[in-house]
């Protein structure tokens, strides 16, 4: 398999850990943690490790499903609401 361009990554079966980290927006250490935990699947091509792009998509899908059950509030929104409540109590 030749080196993939950024646009060709979507059609690639496997990508390097560096490219997988770029796709997921994390570091290579995190990629190896995900591999060890079984969250991502990989194979060896000679000395090179290739991570299946299908496993990257599956991982992202699982993360989206898991986060769908979380409240939609972010910590920033909670902090903003708490600040507004404090202000309204001071004004009262």
Residue-wise pLDDT for 17-58, tens only, equals 999 999 999 999 999 999 999 999 999 999 999 999 999 999
pTM, 2 dp = 0.67
Please indicate whether residue 10 or residue 24 has the higher confidence score (pLDDT).
Answer: 24
Q: Where are the alpha helices (DSSP H) in 3-92?
A: 17-24, 28-36, 53-68, 75-91
Query: What per-residue confidence (pLDDT) applies to 4?
Result: 45
Highest-confidence segment of 29-33, 64-68, 74-78, 87-91: 29-33
Contact residues for 55 (Cβ-Cβ < 8 A; gap 6+): 39, 40, 41, 42
């Amino acid at each position: 398999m030749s080196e993939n361009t950024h646009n060709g990554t979507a059609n690639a079966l496997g990508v390097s850990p560096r490219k997988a980290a770029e796709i997921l927006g994390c570091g290579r250490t995190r990629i190896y943690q995900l591999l060890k935990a079984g969250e991502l699947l990989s194979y060896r091509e000679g000395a090179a490790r290739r991570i299946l792009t299908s496993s990257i998509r599956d991982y992202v899908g699982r993360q989206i499903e898991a986060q769908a059950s979380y409240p939609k509030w972010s910590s920033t929104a909670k902090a903003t609401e708490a600040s507004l409540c404090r202000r309204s109590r001071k004004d009262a």
